[in-house]
Each structure stands twice: as structure tokens, then as C-alpha cells.
Structure 1
Amino acid sequence: THAPMAETSLQGAKLPIRSNFRHTPKILSCFSSDRPKIRMPRILRTRYVKQVGEQINLVLPFIGKPNPVVCWLKDGQPLDTKRANVRNSDRDSILFIRSSQREDSGVYEMTVKVDSFEDKATITLQILPGPPATVKLVDTWGFNAALEWTPPTDNGNTEITGYTIQKADKKTGEWFTVLEHYHRLNATISDLIMGNSYNFRAFAENKVGVSESATVTKEVAHIPKTGIVYTPPEYKEHDFSEAPKFTTTLSDRAATVGYTTKLLCSVRGFPKPKIEWLKNQMVIGDDPKFRQISNQGVCSLEIRKPCSFDGGVYTCRAKNAQGEATVSCKLEVKRMYLPTE
């Protein structure tokens, strides 16, 4: 006979439950995600410089699960697919431009996104500047030639820092540099050789470097030979008369009560222009509060220990027989407030 089942177990005790499986399986999550992260190459962390026509191939690795959504922008706008191509894999994104042009310069931004998480990286692409828009031979006299030029239409996405001017004798065709890192838009080239003819060209410079091409003058400067006995030319002597023209304008500024301040500008013209300073359209004259100086085209107005009433619109007026020109700026005089304890 068999004892009842109730007698085979301890009262109040729990017997182990047997199973055909040796271990109870753990329940695993079907989904996992890692925050996206762009691994920016060191060479791209500051700026990326290229010449016009060079191929651009930027590879930006990234991580993230599931595969991140990749987006590219240029200067905050979607990429022009006619200029740039993008190829994405599960671990990197490649920006490819077959032949770079100056309009490709700018700030490129790459974004990788997984769910609500994202990472961004920016690359500044800089292209060397274009040449000056025009270069003109203004005049030739003696052993000198006067040139004028205009800034390039494309600055290569960074500020123009200067110009390089070269000359070439038409007999040899060799170019020689006469000016470097030159900041003005006009110059006089001296020490030209009698009996020779010259072309001139100008390059533009920015922080990246010098433009790969130059703009050449259409006119040729002929330096005539002179005999032992000087024979005056039969044409009229060149008229150097020029109406006043400000080459540096006034800038708005703020000053502090009691602290002397100075306004500066520069002007050219022939005959030498007469300089007048005005405050709120009234001529300042010989007011001892103001000190007016004009030296070699640089005009300055020193305002000694200004008070709040000295604020207003200041004008520099230059006049000669050919005409007149003015520039103005606004001066604001502020009080200094000391902190209270």
C-alpha cells in the first residue's frame, strides 16, 4: 500500500519544481541603441584648404546604433547635388566634390541622429581668392606708371589681406614682383627703364594664400627714350588736379566722460584740400576744446575731456578748386558709473 501524497511532504514546506530545462532562460531586450558620435579627423578640425579644380574627398567616421540618419548642410542650406555627392555607410559618411570651385567654399555641417540623440560636426572649407576684378594703367610719365585696381569678386570665403603687383618687360616677358602685401587699391611703379614697354598684373591675397591667377592690364606703359638735349613734348602737361576723395572714412564710436578721444580719417586731392570739422552741421572753428590736425592727408580731431554735451554727429569736410567731399560719424559720450559697495 502507498501512503497518501499529503503524508509525503513536510507540512508548510515548498517542494522544488522540476523542469526539463537545466536553467531558466533570461528575457533579453530585443532593442538596444547607442548614442551617435562623429569621430572628426584631426586634419578637419580647424579648416580645410583647397585650390580651385582640386578634388575634395572628406571621410567622417561615426558610431551609433541603430544606423544613424545622416544629414549634410552647407552654410545652413541643403547641399547642391549638382556640386557635391554624399555616400553613407553604417560607419562613415563621404562628401565628394570632383572638381572644386570657389563657390564650394563655406561651412559644411554633418549631423548624425538616432531617435532623439544627435551629434554634429562642422568643416570650414576655404578656397584661395580670385584675382582683382580689374587692373588699369592710369598714367605714365618719366620713369613711372600709375595703376589702379578693384577688389576680387570672390574673396575665397575669407577677408582680403593685401595684393601682389608684378611688372614684365615686353622684350623678355619675365615677371618681377614690385609690391607685396600691399593694402591700397592704387600704386605708382617707379624706376622703369627708358625705351622699354611694360605690362602689369595683380594678385589678391587672403589668410589662405595668394590667388592662383592674376589680372593683367590691357594697356601697355611705354617709357620713351630721350636724347641728350631735352625736347619738351608737344602734348599738354598732365593735369594732376583731383577733387577731394576720402580714402578712409570716419567710424561711429563711443567715448567716456572726461577721457580725451580722437576721430581719424584720410583724404586725397590736388590741390591740397582745405579741411573743416563740423559738429551737428556747425563749423567747429578755433574752439580750444578741439584740436584739429591735417598731415599728409591724415585728418584728426581730438576732443579734450569730453562731456555728455559733446556727443553728436561729427563731419569732416574737404574742399579744393575741383570740388568737395564729406564723411560723418556719430560720437556717443557715456558716463562712467563706479560700483557701489
Structure 2
Amino acid sequence: PPSSPLSLSVEEVSENSFTLTWKAPEHTGKAGLDGYLVEICKDGSSDWKAVNQEPFLSTRYTVPNLNSGDKIHVRVTAVGASGSSAPAMLEQPVLIREILQLPKIRMPRHLRETYVRHVGDAVNIMIPFQGKPQPEVTWTKGDQPLDTSRVNIRTTARDTIFYIRQAQRADSGQYQLCVRINGAEDRAILDIQVVEPPGPPQNLKLVDVWGFNVALEWTPPADNGNAEIKGYRVQKSDKKSGKWFTVLERCTRTSCTISDLIIGNTYSFRVFSENCCGLSDSAAVAAGVAHIEKTKTTYQPEKIPQRDMMEPPKFTQPLTDRTTTRGYSTHLFCSVRGFPQPKIIWLKNQMEIREDPKYIAMIEQGVCSLEIRKPSPFDGGVYTCKAVNALGEASVDCRLDVKGEE
């Protein structure tokens, strides 16, 4: 036979009817599902009556023709060719009266994910809800009432407040909030995680020493502080100074290689665990020390032939023709390379531009620029940039047109 229907609940209650919803059973049997039978029984009676005579396949059903003020028990049975399931029943009877507003929990967005607090912190959470008449509000943890010595609950007509003065790790877990009106209800889960710093790593070992390198291994801490271990901080200390220095921060593996150690020094090593609260209060210290000895090999530097850097001037970016307006300063740009650094000469209409306050010539990292300050139509013409060094010369030119203001 099929298994029982799932998640039976009251969707709506009026003054003479109520509406049920549920989910299909997990197992429907080899012969499949013919439908569902809905039965009701008045509170205080054991006389169950079928509401529908024939099975139906919908997972929603409205029970009509009831009297206001009645308390009705409900059960739903899945029916198949191989037999009937055990009935699914509501925990509480449904009170037949008009509900002006269905119960609804307005769970704040930040509480829809795991709510993380540190050991010793206060937990003070307000969750609003709605419903008319005023709903009945209940809190449970693991289907058991809350321990009032640890958790204080205060409920008003519009919200419920969940308060723990000093959180402990035992307060972690899922808390169920139920808001109910006459069998219609809404539920929400509050997932609390109380964390603290982890314990130190275990079994830290100095596995190998070679050259300027050391290999370390360890195992995760026995106590992770009720939170995921995000990584490990590895530190070294040389015998001469005795000071600790971090060499790896948030190492995600339980082994590492430390390089670039100094010849002749003797090193100790320690490792901290880290979770969302921070580092462990103490570190695991490796039992042995690593002495970096001098190697007997001698280094023979490779002979690199000197490169001839000499190069005649060559323009890598030419001048470009420009048009400007009278009275507005303009710039000409080009770029050149060469070694030794070329001497730059600017010419206008084949005449060298010497010290003239109208022109400002500059060169920086191979980029040549000529600023022409407040030009007039007389300043138009062909401008040439010539680069000269001991190996030769090169030049580029452009035309500058200066238009009068309109």
C-alpha cells in the first residue's frame, strides 16, 4: 500500500468551511495511486465520517457545510489498488470561525540564513508576524519545549522576541517558530550557530629539511570551535632573535613547505588554527628544530655577452597634421629612440626654432613635445622634429594650420 500523505495543513478557514492542502506520499505502491479520502470527526467524538465518497487526485480540498464554533478533527488517507495508507492527521482540531487574516511569519532577511554569534554574546532577535484574531505562538527546539533557564521568549500581538543573555555552544541548533490560528498555521526555522576560537592543530611534525627548505605536516584540531576551519597560520623563529614571524597566512592544507631560509640559522616552527572567530588561543609547536647548513657546491655565474646598445635615432611615433584656433595653445607630439640619447632640434619652415618664449620644447622618456603658445595665423606652417646622435639623424614633420576665430 502507499505511504501516508505529507505536510497536511489548513490553508483557509471561514465561518462554515475550511480548506486543506497536503503533499503526495513518498511511496505510492506498485499499482500507483487512485486518490485520497478526507474524513472528519467532531471534537469529543470518535465517529469519523468520509467527506468524499470517491477518491480524488487533487492535493487540495475544501470541507463545506460546517457550523460556526465546531471543533473538527481531520485525517487524509492515500488510496491505491494495493490498499490504503495510514492516515495523516492534524495535531489540533480546526475551530470553525472566520479568520480575518491568515497567520504569516515575516522572517527578517538576515535570519533566513544561519545566525552566527560568539560564545558569551547576547542573542536578541525580534521576528514580526501577522494574523487576526491574535495567533497562538509557540517555540520548540527538536520538537521539545525551550529550556526557559536559557531562553527567554516575549510575545506581543505583532512580534515575538527570542533572547539569550550569554550564548553557549549548547544553544546552537534549529529553533522552530509556529504561529497558529484555529488550525491554520505558518512555520519558520531559526538556525543559530554559537562559535568560539578553535583549538590548536595536532601532531605537528618537522618532516624534512633540505637546502634552504623545510616541510611540515599536522592534523586538524580536536575542537574546531563549532565552525569550519578556514585555514592555518604558520610561523617561524630563528634561534638568534627568538622572535616569531608569519611565513604562511591562512594555509588551507595540513602540510606546507617553507623556503628561503638563511644558511647557518636554526629555526623552530609553530602553527595556529583559524575559524570565523580568529586564531586559536595557543599554537602547536614542532618538537624538533631545523638547522640550515652551508652547501659545498660553488656557484659559477653564467657569462653573458655585453649587448651593443648603440642605435641611430629612429622615430617610433611621427608628428601628425593639426588644425587649431587662433589664441588657443596647442601641442605637437612624437616619440623617438636611439643611443646615445639623441639631441632634439625643432624647425619651422626649415628654420631652427631657438630660444623663443612662444615655444616650449620638452623630451621625457623618448616622448618629444612642442608647445606653441597662443598661436596666430603667422605661426602656421610646416614643423619638423630632427633627432641627431653620433650614429646618424632622423626627422619627421607635420603641417599646422591656425584659423582665425569666427
**TM-score w.r.t. length of structure 1:** 0.47
Higher relative contact order (CA 8 A, sep 6+): 1
**TM-score w.r.t. length of structure 2:** 0.40
Higher strand share: 2
